[in-house]
A and B are shown apart, each in its own frame.
Chain A
Amino acid sequence: MLIPLEHILIFSTLLFAIGVYGVLVRRNVVGILISIELILNSVNVNLIAFSRSNALDPVMGQVFAIFVITLAAVGATVGLAIVLALYRIKRTVYTDEINLLKW
């Protein structure tokens, strides 16, 4: 490990914060989705970093990282499909313009 663990953790914290910011602030649904990808990546960074330490069984960390990546892919796929369907119906991808469930 070339750099200290806490630096990587800080990096992932920042990444996480940025991702959350995107989720909270972006109006575009696609933007929210990619921000979520950021959050997931920050988690993955943590997993890999810890897998190189005593905290996790090394294999376990990597395996979970793989699962996270896979599930992120699934999430992105389904999310984007929903976005497309939404766009077809509402002609918009902005969250505040989508109010199908709001009365």
Chain B
Amino acid sequence: MLPILAKLFIYGVLFLSLVAALGVVLLPNIFHAALCLVGTLLGIAALYLALQAEFIAVVQVLLYVGAVMTLVIFAIMLTHRIGDMTIPQTNKQSLPACLALFAFVVLIGGLLLKTDWSILVGTGGSVASVNPPVDTFMLGKALLGEYVFPFEVVSVILIAGLIGAIVVARKD
């Protein structure tokens, strides 16, 4: 019973995430869109938890919800004008975009469904998880061991981004 509940719960979360994602792109009010994005992100974090990637889930919350979304909302507040409510928020190419994306989804979806994933996930198909869950310790070791160079590069990029952002956004 519990697995079924959990499964239902996860599917529900995924569904809600998709709905929220749709909200992100469709809602005319950009602030609402941003809030919807928060919802999507939280849903994805829940998915990560379900995939036993707790660390990523928490980082997702900490970084996306805590930091990135804060920035986004800040930017929205700084650039928002009352008149925005009344003018159209989409351009004129929504129909071609819709068609193209529909084609894309059909293409990829068909591909996904046709593929035999059992090679990757084992014979059990849906339940068997091939790899043991990764704990924080292993992750830390990998980040500061095997991947220390990309790690450092990312740090440098972060610093560069930080400085760049300050320089670009400075008022002078």
Contact call A51/B121, Cβ cutoff below 8 A: no
Residues of B within 8 A of A50 (CB): 120
Contact with B along A58-87 (1 / 0, CB 8 A): 111011011101111111111011111101
Contact call B101/A1, Cβ cutoff below 8 A: no
- A56 shortest CB reach to chain B, Å: 9
Residues of A within 8 A of B119 (CB): 54
Contact with B along A4-47 (1 / 0, CB 8 A): 11111111011101111110111110110111011001001100
Contact call A6/B113, Cβ cutoff below 8 A: yes
What separation, in Å, do the CA atoms of A48 and B91 have in the docked complex? 34
For residue A88, CB closer than 8 A to chain B, the reply is yes
Contact call A63/B147, Cβ cutoff below 8 A: yes
Contact call B33/A31, Cβ cutoff below 8 A: yes
With contacts A5-B117, A76-B68 taken as known, whether A10 is within 8 angstroms of B109 at the C-beta atoms is yes
What separation, in Å, do the CA atoms of A81 and B37 have in the docked complex? 20
What separation, in Å, do the CA atoms of A21 and B90 have in the docked complex? 10
- A12 shortest CB reach to chain B, Å: 9
Contact with A along B1-39 (1 / 0, CB 8 A): 001001100110010011001101100001001100100
- A16 shortest CB reach to chain B, Å: 8
- In this complex, how many residues of chain A approach chain B with their Cβ under 8 Å: the count is 72
Contact call B88/A27, Cβ cutoff below 8 A: yes
Q: Which of A18, A20, A71, A76 interacts with B18 by CB under 8 Å?
A: A18
Residues of B within 8 A of A71 (CB): 154, 157
User: What are 23 pairs between A and B in contact, CB < 8 Å?
Assistant: A1-B126, A4-B121, A5-B117, A22-B24, A26-B25, A26-B89, A31-B30, A44-B44, A52-B133, A59-B142, A69-B59, A69-B63, A70-B154, A72-B68, A76-B72, A77-B161, A78-B161, A78-B164, A80-B75, A81-B166, A81-B168, A84-B79, A84-B169
Q: Which residues of B contact A (CB under 8 A)?
A: 3, 6-7, 10-11, 14, 17-18, 21-22, 24-25, 30, 33-34, 37, 40-41, 44, 47-48, 50-53, 55-56, 59-60, 63-64, 67-68, 71-72, 74-76, 78-79, 84, 88-91, 93-94, 97-98, 101, 104-105, 108-109, 112-113, 115, 117, 119-122, 125-134, 138-139, 142-143, 146-147, 150, 154, 157-158, 161-162, 164-166, 168-169, 171
Q: Which residues of A contact B (CB under 8 A)?
A: 1-11, 13-15, 17-22, 24-28, 30-31, 33-35, 37-38, 41, 44-45, 48-55, 58-60, 62-63, 65-67, 69-78, 80-85, 87-88, 93, 95-96
